[in-house]
């Protein structure tokens, strides 16, 4: 209706120009002003959405659908598994129709587009006052958004159930070819979208709807402070990964324990029976017991690994040092005869 009103305005103007015998220059000026008005409407307030925003919106829609489906699967966790599998196409169609109802059905934009401040514009509208999706376009969108995926998912069962109907195989053969053609056309459409920036999906091209920024400041604002922070943390983490293997923590720990504690080395003679049953490093029964000159006993692995990491390793209990690699010796039990 608005389209005809606009066309009517243009006709009236043309008639008025004819009546008042406008000169060619005057006509040209009027035409330019009108064209400029239209351009201002389209290019000033409404701008084509960026390709990346359109792709992001589609990605968000897909993710939203997946999230809702996962939640639904959680609800039906304790039902028979066949239930969800059997009615999966119908459940998907119900989810899609609910999503459609509260997105394109009510606001002429998908939920992903709403999050990115995009809206579907009717590219076939010639009237600058009425640029949004018409009711007919919305209903056609519902058919393509809900009906076609359902048909695609139910195809195999429908084909099996109609096998007794005469000539049904010709119909399904045609459906198969159409779906192949749609796939190829979708790919071509996407390549055109990448170069032109309009009609990301084949359905959008067929319906004549394109995603636009409806508001003048609706362009994509990137918060660079988050980006900077992310980069900084990333750099810091990489630096840590580089530096950590170069720090000998065992040596640092030994250094501090050596200098901060006041201990006097305990001699072998002070060794009690309990010392034989406990490794001074790991606290367990000493495996292949070793000694370094003090009364304390170590597992072979515990003392050798500590000495390999730090040649100035001292006994953690009494602070007795190791006199070279020969300072570590197996414990020999002297049995009195
Ligand atoms: Zn040990
Ligand atoms: Zn010791």
For 182-197, the pLDDT digits (tens) are: 999 999 999 999 988 8
Query: 326 C-alpha to center of ligand 2: Å?
Result: 16
Q: Are 295 and 270 contacting, i.e. CB atoms less than 8 angstroms apart?
A: yes
- Ligand in nearest proximity to the CA of 289: 1
Q: Is the pLDDT of residue 316 over 60?
A: yes
What local confidence, expressed as pLDDT, does residue 68 receive?
A: 93
Q: Is the pLDDT of residue 80 over 60?
A: yes
- Ligand in nearest proximity to the CA of 316: 2
Query: 277 C-alpha to center of ligand 1: Å?
Result: 11
Higher local confidence (pLDDT), 220 or 163: 163
> How far is Cα 161 from Cα 241, in angstroms, rounded to an integer?
61
Per-residue pLDDT band at 247 (split at 50, 70, 90): confident
> How far is Cα 268 from Cα 98, in angstroms, rounded to an integer?
82
- Ligand in nearest proximity to the CA of 279: 1
- Ligand in nearest proximity to the CA of 303: 1
Instruction: Supply the pTM of this predicted model.
Output: 0.52
Query: 295 C-alpha to center of ligand 2: Å?
Result: 6
Q: Are 299 and 277 contacting, i.e. CB atoms less than 8 angstroms apart?
A: no
Query: 313 C-alpha to center of ligand 1: Å?
Result: 15
Query: 254 C-alpha to center of ligand 2: Å?
Result: 13
What local confidence, expressed as pLDDT, does residue 331 receive?
A: 87
Q: Are 201 and 148 contacting, i.e. CB atoms less than 8 angstroms apart?
A: no
Going by the DSSP 8-state scheme, the letter that residue 1 receives in this structure is: -
Q: Picking from 56-70, 154-168, 237-251, which range would have the lowest pLDDT averaged per residue?
A: 154-168
- Ligand in nearest proximity to the CA of 301: 1
């Amino acid at each position: 209706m608005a389209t005809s009103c606009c066309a009517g305005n243009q006709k009236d103007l043309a008639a008025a120009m004819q009546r008042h015998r406008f000169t060619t220059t005057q006509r040209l000026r009027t035409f330019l002003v009108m064209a400029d008005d239209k351009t201002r409407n389209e290019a000033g307030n409404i701008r084509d959405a960026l390709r990346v925003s359109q792709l992001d919106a589609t990605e968000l829609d897909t993710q939203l659908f997946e999230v809702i489906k996962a939640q639904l699967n959680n609800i039906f966790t304790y039902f028979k598994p066949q239930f969800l599998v059997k009615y999966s196409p119908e459940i998907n169609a119900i989810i899609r129709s609910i999503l459609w109802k509260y997105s394109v059905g009510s606001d002429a934009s998908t939920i992903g587009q709403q999050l990115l401040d995009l809206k579907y514009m009717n590219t076939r509208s010639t009237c600058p006052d009425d640029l949004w999706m018409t009711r007919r376009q919305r209903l056609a969108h519902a058919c393509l958004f809900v009906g076609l995926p359902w048909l695609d998912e139910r195809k195999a069962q429908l084909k099996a159930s109609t096998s007794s109907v005469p000539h049904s195989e010709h119909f399904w053969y045609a459906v198969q070819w159409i779906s192949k053609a749609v796939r190829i056309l979708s790919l071509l459409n996407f390549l055109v979208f990448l170069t032109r920036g309009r009609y990301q999906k084949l359905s959008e091209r067929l319906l004549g709807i394109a995603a636009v920024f409806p508001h003048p400041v609706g362009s994509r604002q990137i918060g660079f402070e988050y980006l900077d922070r992310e980069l900084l943390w990333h750099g810091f983490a990489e630096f840590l990964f580089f530096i950590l293997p170069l720090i000998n923590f065992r040596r640092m720990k030994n250094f501090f324990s050596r200098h901060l504690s006041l201990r006097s080395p305990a001699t072998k003679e002070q060794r009690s029976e309990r010392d034989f049953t406990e490794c001074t490093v790991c606290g367990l029964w000493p495996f292949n017991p070793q000694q370094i000159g003090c009364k304390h006993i170590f597992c072979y692995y515990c003392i050798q690994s500590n000495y390999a990491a730090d040649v100035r390793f001292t006994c953690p209990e009494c602070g007795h040092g190791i006199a070279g690699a020969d300072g570590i010796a197996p414990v020999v039990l002297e049995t009195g005869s």
